[in-house]
Every structure is written in structure tokens, then in C-alpha cells.
Amino acid sequence: MDNCCREYLFISDFFMVSGTGAQNLFENIMGKTLTMFMVGINLFESIISKILTMFMITRRFAEFSAAIVGINASYPRELVRRSFGQLQAEVENFILKMAAEFSHHKDQLIFLINNYDMMLNVLVERTTRDSKEAEMFCDLLAARTQEFVEEILAPHFGGLISWVKDSEVALEHGLRRSFITLISEEKRVQQIVRGFNNDWKRVLESINQEVMRAFTKFKNGTQIFQGTLTLLIQYNQYHRFQKVLAQPMFRHLQIRH
């Protein structure tokens, strides 16, 4: 951009032209160069629009952030802290805008997780994990990871998840009409249980492969897959499903036996 501006001024002065004449002469001289430049820009845009991994600007910002945080820890300045906070907010909004370029919500989450994880690691390596900046990215990473885990489980175990949630609401609030509806869905419950028993191993292998492909760092992918298992087995759906089936109103269901 700077070179083009200088070239335009030089052409205007050297050939003593202005207005439309200067524009036409500039296009004749620089037209092919600008066309090649635009082709390169469009190609670059098409490439980065498909990249779900770390974005170059966030990497540079993470390194810059670590340096500023380190310096400000030794020589604190309120103006630096305030200005850096504003810059951090703008970069966070920029990352969200970049993620919004992806049409699928799952891809948006993968992009955000990869970038938050990278920024957190850079900050932790060069500062401390308990710094305000590191804590912020740690919270963002945890929230998006939880959202991704729920997203990746939904296509495979959505029926199990929704039935458990509906049943728990009915149990908690004593909704008799909801009980009757849920109890009458014995065929649905049987399908859920049989589907889980028949497919859980294959589905988890498929999820593991998808997670490891999506996340560039093996450690990050492994942690997310472990979080998926935790949500499915330990704390969330399967144990809660068994707890719901143990209620007296479901004792007649043959699937329990």
C-alpha cells in the first residue's frame, strides 16, 4: 500500500498529470502488479478460511501479551494495564469474528479451542498460570471445550441425553403428566439402551478419531476425549440414566431386567 501511494505521487509529479489522467496512467503502469497482488490475497484468504488450527495473529498477540505481562509485573503501570486490557478485549472479539467465518458450529468451536489453548500455553510458559490473563484464557478454553464435548456427543447419544434430562425434570418437579408420557415410551427407552449397548465402542472410536484430527496438539486432543468420556460415563448421561431407571415408576420396564 505504501509503495503504491508513493508510485502514484511519483507518476503525478514526473509526468505532470492529475485527476483522471493520473489514475489511468497509474493503472497502466501498476495494473498487472495489483492484479497479481489481489490474486495472492484471494488465495491466501481461501486458504486461511479453511484452517481450524492456530491463527498467526493470535500467536503473535500471545507472545506480545506474555512480554507485556512479564514487564508490567516487575514495573507495574496503570496506563499499561488499562491499555493492554482494551487490546486484549479487541483481540478476543477478533478471534470470535474469525470463528464466525466457519459455517458449522463445531468448526467454530475447534478454531476457538485451538487458539485459546495456544495463547494459554504461551502465557503460562512465560508468566504464571495464576496471572489474570492466563486465568481468563483458561476459563474461555474450559467453556468452549465443554460446549464442544456436548456438541460432539449429541449426534450419537442425543436420544439418551434428552430422555435423561426430561426424566430428571419430571422427577425433580413431580410432573405427573410428564411421568405418564415418559413411562409410556418403553419402546423408546429400549431403543436407547440397545443402541448404546450395541454402538458405544464404535461411536467412541469414531469420536476419538474425530477429536485427534481436529486438534493439532496430541495432549489437547487427549484431554478433550477424556472430557467426552467423563461427560458421558462418570458425571453425566449413563449413570444418570441408570439412576432414572431405578425410580419406582420405571420398575415395570422390561429393559431393566
Alpha-carbon distance of 135 to 127, in angstroms, equals 12
CA–chain centroid gap for 178, Å, is: 35
Q: What is the pLDDT of residue 174?
A: 64
Q: Cβ neighbours of residue 4 under 8 Å, at least 6 residues apart?
A: 30, 34
Do residues 166 and 244 lie in contact, with contact meaning Cβ atoms separated by under 8 Å? no
Reading the chain (257 residues) residue by residue, the pLDDT tens digits are: 788 888 888 888 888 888 888 888 888 888 888 888 888 777 766 655 555 556 678 888 888 888 888 888 788 888 888 888 898 889 889 889 888 888 889 989 998 998 998 888 888 888 777 788 888 889 999 999 999 998 998 888 888 888 787 777 777 766 555 556 666 666 777 788 788 888 888 988 999 998 888 887 778 888 888 888 888 876 455 678 777 777 776 666 666 55
- Is residue 113 within 8 A of residue 144, CB to CB? The reply is yes
Query: Would you state the pLDDT for residue 109?
Result: 93
* Residue 79, C-alpha cell as written in the block: 496506563
Q: Return the closest-CA partner of residue 246 out of 154, 166, 168, 174.
A: 168
Nearest to 208 by CA among 224, 230, 190, 196: 224
To the question of pTM greater than 0.75 for the whole model, the response is: no
User: Which DSSP category does 255 fall into?
Assistant: G
Cβ-contact 92, 85 below 8 angstroms: no
> What was the pLDDT predicted at 148?
92
User: ∠ CA(224), CA(67), CA(133), 5° rounding?
Assistant: 45
